[in-house]
């Protein structure tokens, strides 16, 4: 008896405002079976009545008391209490309304095909379809989200397809797509190339990495790192000579192929900003909009020369 009393405490309470009575009643009956409480062990239903009533929350207990009036709960047996609660909590079903909800349903975004199939079965519970399996298959396929899984099922022969087979096939296609996406995930990564350019290969514009052969005459832009003849990025130039010392040594440049521009995160007054790297710029700048939204309290000064 002591072991049974311990098991009784495992049974959760029932609150009709938050739980479904039909579902709870099914769990309660399974709990009675697991603990060996049946008509033989509890002939008058007194123990089952006590267990049920003690599991009701205060509001649900008061509701049961009101439904059983003019009698009191201790005057009726377990079966009568269950019958009264069944009548109260079981809503009246309208066949066409249930079918309307069934036909209007569709697979939700991110919902697994197995979960969608289970929901379809639940929606058909009170529709009273004559050929249930055929209707379930139709709704599962027609209500699926658009994609390769749905297209694959549309190509199948209906005579050879069941709901279980349709679910398995849809899951197989989904798994194959996920595996293919994972295997090719690295192909779109940004690739950076470091090129080694020596004096022997000619001369380069340091900013735009454009080579100039030594045989060509040199026209140098205002900033000596630009070679006018090989660099089309500037318009204003002056003639002059560039010493060999400016061009000696090894030059490296980093290029990004088929990727986003290279950026660098810079912390300003505790705020991280993502700046695009421009090797031809001598200053780091932010827009007026960014300044007003993030640094409006910071005083800035006009710079005469950059």
User: Residue ranges of the domains in the chain?
Assistant: 2-89, 96-183, 191-257, 261-306
Distance CA 138, CA 158 (A): 9
Q: For residue 112, what are the contacts with CB-CB under 8 A and spacing of at least 6?
A: 171
pLDDT attached to residue 245? 47
pLDDT attached to residue 151? 92
User: 144, 229, 251: which is closest to 152 by C-alpha?
Assistant: 144
Verdict on whether the full-model pTM lies above 0.85: no
Distance CA 72, CA 18 (A): 25
Q: For residue 58, what are the contacts with CB-CB under 8 A and spacing of at least 6?
A: none
| Plot region of 230 (φ>0 → left; ψ -120 to 50 → alpha; else → beta) | alpha
| pLDDT per 10-residue tile (average), the chain, 306 residues | 50 90 92 88 88 92 92 91 90 85 93 94 91 94 93 89 92 88 64 52 49 46 45 50 50 58 78 76 77 76 66
Q: Roughly how many angstroms between the first and final C-alpha of the chain, as a whole number?
A: 92
User: 198, 192, 199, 141: which is closest to 170 by C-alpha?
Assistant: 141
pLDDT attached to residue 295? 77
Q: What are the backbone dihedrals phi and psi of residue 274, each rounded to the nearest 5 degrees, phi first?
A: -100, 110
DSSP string, 219-252: -BBSSTT-BTTT--S---B------GGGT-S-EE
70 preceded by cis ω (within 30°)? yes
pLDDT attached to residue 181? 82
Q: Which residues of 10-48 are buried (b: 16+ CB within 10 A; e: fewer)?
A: ebeebebeebebeebbeebeebbeebebeeeebeebebb
Interior angle at CA 167, CA 175 and CA 160, nearest 5: 120
Give burial (CB, 10 Å; 0-12/13-18/19+) of 210: middle
User: Dmax over Cα atoms in the chain, in whole Å?
Assistant: 115
pLDDT attached to residue 111? 93
Distance CA 52, CA 271 (A): 60
């Amino acid at each position: 008896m002591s072991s049974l009393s311990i098991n009784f405490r495992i049974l959760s309470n029932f609150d009709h405002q938050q739980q479904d009575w039909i579902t709870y009643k099914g769990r309660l009956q399974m709990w009675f079976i697991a603990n060996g409480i049946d008509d033989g062990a509890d002939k008058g239903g007194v123990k089952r009545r006590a267990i049920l009533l003690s599991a009701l929350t205060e509001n649900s207990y008061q509701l049961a008391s009101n439904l059983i009036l003019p009698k009191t709960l201790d005057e009726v047996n377990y079966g009568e209490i269950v019958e009264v609660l069944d009548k109260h909590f079981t809503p009246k079903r309208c066949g066409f309304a249930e079918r309307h909800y069934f036909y209007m349903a569709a697979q939700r975004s991110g919902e697994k095909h197995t979960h969608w199939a289970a929901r379809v079965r639940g929606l058909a519970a009170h529709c009273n379809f004559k050929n249930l399996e055929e209707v379930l298959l139709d709704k599962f396929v027609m209500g699926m989200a658009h994609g390769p899984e749905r297209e694959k099922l549309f190509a199948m022969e209906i005579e050879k397809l069941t709901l279980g087979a349709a679910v398995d096939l849809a899951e197989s296609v989904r798994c194959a797509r996920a595996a293919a996406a994972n295997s090719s995930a690295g192909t779109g990564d940004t690739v950076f190339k470091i090129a080694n350019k020596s004096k022997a290969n000619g001369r380069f514009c340091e900013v735009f990495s454009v080579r100039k052969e030594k045989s060509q005459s040199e026209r140098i832009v205002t900033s000596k790192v630009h070679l006018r003849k090989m660099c089309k990025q500037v318009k204003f130039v002056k003639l002059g000579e560039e010493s060999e010392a400016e061009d000696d040594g090894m030059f490296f440049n980093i290029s990004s192929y088929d990727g986003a521009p290279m950026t660098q995160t810079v912390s300003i007054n505790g705020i991280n900003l993502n700046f695009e790297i421009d090797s031809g710029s001598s200053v780091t700048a932010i827009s007026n909009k960014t300044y007003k939204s993030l640094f409006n309290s910071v005083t800035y000064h006009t710079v005469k020369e950059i």
